Chains A and B, each alone.
Chain A
Amino acid sequence: MNDNLGFGSSISRRRFMGLGVGAAAGALIAGCGGGKSAGEAAGGAGGGAQPAATFSGTYDGPDVTLSYWNGFTGGDGPFMKQLVKDFMAEHQNIKIAENTVQWAEYYQRMPAAVTAGKGPDVGAMHLDQLATNAARKVIVPVDDVANAIGLTEEDFTPEVWQAGIYQDARYGIPLDVHSLAMYSLPAPMQKAGISEMPTDGESFTAALDELKASGTANPFWMPTRWPAHLMFLSLLWQNGGEPYSEDGTKATFDSEEGVAALQWMVDVINKGYSPKNVAQDSQYVAFKNGEVPITWDGIWQINDLKSAGVENTLSPVPKIGEMDHVWANSHNFYITRQTTGDDNKLQAAKVFIDWISRKSAEWAGAGMIPARKSVRETAQVQDSPQGPIAAKIDTLKFLPPVPGLGDVQAQTLEIAVANATLLKESPADALKSQASRASKLMEENKKKFG
């Protein structure tokens, strides 16, 4: 059939199957929650909400297999595989079945799989997704693991530590932090006579001018999609703004600070530093091809550039605004509600998290900055390419722990940034309409998650 065009020529079947999430006929009636609101029912029936049994630090029960999910598909993957192998060598009675899913699909699949009882027992997820999954009761609190490992706020930065708390319980054990950074190609920089990497707005613009003068027509391509919204958030924070209100009910990214941030991005295009209409990923591909001397991207691209043989310099994102801030996220370990009711699995999962958290120096090889202070201060990390970023860990900013915020942002803020950088709308108009939509979605989420 001609069904490759879309989902299928037999529309009704495919579409409804998709919506029913493979629901068999038997599940027909199962979904009714009566007259309760989602929040009410959630409060009463959350099997995973109870604090888990205290953690002893070791596991000596019968052989157990843990399903472990993560999204380390890039240059970070081999490092995680090695860690898992080492763990199994040390723990004969715990087998880890690793499943790697692209992050983009991960947050869609993981809750569905856990709901069906076929998901991970333990896994890694981004900090900004913890609250969402905690509210959905997909993951369970891990306060006792944090206590047993002896982790406190002092071991991390307050920002990372607190973002893992949702409704007074801790849901994630931070493994690393990773931020946006500035990559540059040494050859064109030298040709333009730039010896120091720019650190503020003025020196950044000066560097772009010098690169232009030395023959690079477009020295800094402004992406319209990923990571454009991360650049926008960084600049917004630098200007002293906040994208969302603290209580998670309102989007504030259309503030004066937000408009100024987006205007700066648009000006990069208008002043000819960037070509127009930069489609997804093309700024990064062009950087790899040596066409663009400077680009901003996640620090985890270090390994991709290394394996592609692209010689580059990594430095912090310059301080364009008044404050030194940059967008960051963090990989956190979690335990799902699947393990509740099986104490062996629960204990084994905690042993795994504890072990891997102590090994986070090895993880630095994956291009990340270990979350633990003690590990961060080792020579192994300080001498790594991301060392200069790790030193500025206090400048990192994280999204607040608001359930459902990640989805809201993808539908609103990212669209506003794309529309403005494609020069379809003025920054103020783009941000205003999407912020009001975001506020509506956030209000609904507040009602839904309570």
Chain B
Amino acid sequence: MSSSTRPTTKEVAAPPLAPDRLEVSTTRRAPSGRRLTSWATPWLFLLPYLVLFGTFVVAPIVYGFWISLHDYDYTLPGKPWVGLRNYTNLFDSDSITAGPFWDGMQATAIFTVFSVPLLLIVPLAVAIVMNQRFRGRNLFRAVYFAPYVLGVAVIGVLWRFLLDRNIGIVNHYMGVVGLPDDIPWLTSVPEAWVALVGVTVWWTLGFNAVIYLAGLQDIPAELYEAAKVDGANAWQRFRNVTLPGLRPVTSFVTMVTIIASVNMFGQSYLMTLGQPGTETRTVIYTITETGLRNFRMGDAAAMSYVLTLFLMVLSLAVFWLFREKKAA
């Protein structure tokens, strides 16, 4: 904390003491009721949130970890303690959990690697266009944001039928315009990844675009004017004014998009059923199947913790990346 921040409660309440007054001062401090209140005030303000946070975040985290140390099937009365076996199983290729888990991690990685860059760049382009003045701008903004309003169930069922290889309208119209009309969008890789990433970008780009748009509107117009006066062309203005101005927003969007992509579940659950085989079955999908359908809560909890660890490392890396740039 820098010296310019306002004095803390302690600094106000207890000014620097001369050594000879120290003893007197401590004896005087104890009986004072006002001091107790001043100590409790911030906590009282935090209390409502802390209760929710404790009940719905901290307690489940601790409980989840406890579950991960057991052979945990909640419908059975016995939940034997297994120590770290659920974790070591994940790293033992002979166990029944390791295969599906790492396949899921791989599927999630593929999805994240392809969806995140697109979800950062395409919405930025859309936001820049939306930020221009032209007729029908509001309609344009609404059109791009509209898909985001729909839930994953609607999106999944809709695209499952549109993209069907044999009866889908996408292949039909591709055939009409002379393109191949037998592309297995949902039952073969890499086509299924194209479909899943494509649908996700179409669906959620509106959200990122709106955040970018808010960021763009925060960049002072004078900067652009000054750049113009200095003879900067459109690209140079974008490179040197827009991008730096968007940095905090970009950092937020990147983080949120990565987390959302790693958590992808609904699209592959509804559109591809994890097909072909289990190749598009993401890690969240695997965890759901393991814990909620097969009642192997212990294994599922252990998988979640390993995934969380990966996600934390990834988030730190992103955080660090954006901080570095800021310092430069």
| Mask of A19-36 contacts with B, CB within 8 angstroms, 1/0 | 111011101100111111
Q: Which residue of A lies closest to B315 (CB)?
A: A11
Please determine whether B276 and A279 come into contact, CB atoms closer than 8 angstroms.
no
A319 within 8 A of B: no
B200 within 8 A of A: yes
Please determine whether A18 and B292 come into contact, CB atoms closer than 8 angstroms.
yes
Question: Which of the candidate stretches B31-39, B212-220, B222-230, B262-270 sits at the interface with the other chain?
Answer: B262-270
Chain A contacts for B260, CB-based, 8 A: 2-6, 9
Report which of A31, A35, A279 forms a contact with B165, defined as CB distance below 8 A.
A279
B231 within 8 A of A: no
A418 within 8 A of B: yes
Report which of A12, A280, A440 forms a contact with B61, defined as CB distance below 8 A.
A12
Which residues of B42-71 have CB atoms within 8 Å of chain A's CB atoms?
A: 54-57, 59-64, 66-67, 70-71
Chain A contact residue count (CB 8 A cutoff): 75
Q: Which residue of B lies closest to A276 (CB)?
A: B184
Complex alpha-carbon distance, A2 and B204, angstroms: 8
User: Interface size bucket, B side?
Assistant: 35 or more
Please determine whether A5 and B80 come into contact, CB atoms closer than 8 angstroms.
no
Report which of A9, A35, A404 forms a contact with B256, defined as CB distance below 8 A.
A9
With a 10 A CB-CB cut-off, give which of A17, A27, A138, A279 has the most chain B CB atoms: A279
Known: A5-B200, A225-B275, A411-B289. A28 touches B264 (CB 8 A): no
Chain B contacts for A25, CB-based, 8 A: 54-55, 59
Complex alpha-carbon distance, A37 and B81, angstroms: 9
Report which of A7, A13, A279 forms a contact with B56, defined as CB distance below 8 A.
A13
Chain A contacts for B76, CB-based, 8 A: 33, 38, 41-42, 136-137, 448
Q: Which residue of A lies closest to B67 (CB)?
A: A19
B86 within 8 A of A: no
Report which of B63, B81, B167 forms a contact with A20, defined as CB distance below 8 A.
B63
| Mask of A368-402 contacts with B, CB within 8 angstroms, 1/0 | 00000000000000000000000000000000000
Complex alpha-carbon distance, A40 and B164, angstroms: 49
Known: A15-B304, A19-B60. A33 touches B266 (CB 8 A): no
Complex alpha-carbon distance, A44 and B78, angstroms: 10
Q: Which residue of A lies closest to B65 (CB)?
A: A16
Chain A contacts for B99, CB-based, 8 A: 437
Which residues of B6-53 have CB atoms within 8 Å of chain A's CB atoms?
A: none
A422 within 8 A of B: yes
Question: Which of the candidate stretches B127-135, B138-146, B238-246, B294-302 sits at the interface with the other chain?
Answer: B294-302
Complex alpha-carbon distance, A40 and B77, angstroms: 9
Q: What are 14 A-B contacts with C-beta separation under 8 Å?
A: A5-B261, A6-B265, A9-B260, A17-B56, A19-B297, A28-B63, A31-B63, A38-B71, A42-B76, A111-B75, A115-B75, A138-B75, A279-B165, A418-B275
A285 within 8 A of B: yes
Chain A contacts for B67, CB-based, 8 A: 19-20, 31
CB distance from B112 to the nearest CB of A (A): 11
With a 10 A CB-CB cut-off, give which of B57, B63, B208, B259 has the most chain A CB atoms: B63
Please determine whether B80 and A37 come into contact, CB atoms closer than 8 angstroms.
yes
Chain B contacts for A7, CB-based, 8 A: 263, 265, 284
